[in-house]
A and B are shown apart, each in its own frame.
Chain A
Amino acid sequence: MKTWLISIAGMVLFIGLALLLQYHIQTTADQFEHSIQQATTTLNQHQWRPTSIKISQIKTRWQKTKLLWGMLIIHREIDSIDQALIRSAKAIQSKNYSEALMELDTLRHFIQHIPERERFNLVNIF
């Protein structure tokens, strides 16, 4: 009986933790998307300085976030975000509007792809 209780408690704890982490990934990804959206808005207005500040803030936040995400998701996804962030920052620095817009959109795609692939649904299971 004791073993059963420990097993069930372990399973419930695992499912709870998994749901909590899934929620954390989704909310963090939403926050990043919001920041990227703000950077895109300032970029569309050709305000290079605020866009550069925004991307620096995203970079700093990403450095902290990837410590936890690195333990939960495959490292290829982390590397893709790292690369997209560097390319975005460089494009903004060189004031190349079309390239910066494209890189920011790529960055948004990579970040939103993580909660999508972690979501518990039939597509992801099969």
Chain B
Amino acid sequence: MLILPVRAAILYLLVVIIVRIMGKHQIGQLQPYELVITILISELAAVPMQDTDIPLLNGIIPILTLLLIQVTLSLISLKSAAARRIICGGPSILIENGHIQQFELAKLRYNINDLLEQLRLKNIPNISDVEYAILETSGKLSVIPKSQKRPVNPQDLKITTSYEGLPTTLIIDGALQRNHLRQSRLSEDWLKNELAKFGLSNWKQVLLASLDSSGKLFIQPKEAKRKSS
């Protein structure tokens, strides 16, 4: 009975490590070969996890082999455009200059209803508003609306905007982010002074503190625990 949880923990940790090594691609948008590897790894880990008759190495060795293949294919597709086209395929244009590419849809076995559904999910209910719709290699649809239908931006209105960088988190759940503070060239004393202005004596009392590029500090203190009635 103790063997099963230990085997499960070993395989779980192994798969977590493998997915981390495979890179962020593996947990985001999957290419076809990555999807295949993900399915295979889950199966390879699940079977020896529940069946103690199968040696754990029968699961570990194929998983490591798949990791090797995945890393190799990723490197090949990174270096060679031709290999990338074979391994990952290429994007397909489904709507070009507002015109549905009927034969491309048929080739991809992608029906009109699927196309309309994807457009609706992108907040484009009317197909005549679309200039381009491209089916990416990950299976996601990219939609470029006609220039008259795209949202207005400050450049269209000739409005000058100031630079907006990423806000820096200084305290997360009571933990001081010292490296972020250093990167922002700020000191702990400065932060303590700022916290004091909010009536806070210690960063352990803070749920989140972040600093935006204009120097504005956002602080949300932790709430006191509610007593259950």
Contacts and interface: CB of A to CB of B under 8 A. Distances in A.
Interface in A23-52: none
B6 A21 contact: no
B1 A72 contact: yes
Q: Secondary structure of the A side of the interface?
A: helix
A126 B55 CA distance: 6
A22 interface: yes
A61 interface: no
Nearest to A76: B53
A68 interface: no
A72 B52 CA distance: 13
Contact of A120 (B2, B53, B56, B57): B2
Contacts of B7: 125
Contact of A124 (B3, B5, B10, B57): B3
Nearest to B60: A126
A18 B52 contact: no
Give me the 7 closest cross-chain CB pairs, A-B, nearest first: A18-B1, A120-B2, A18-B2, A126-B56, A124-B3, A125-B6, A21-B1
Nearest to B4: A18
Interface string B15-54: 0000000000000000000000000000000000000110
B1 A125 contact: no
Nearest to B53: A74
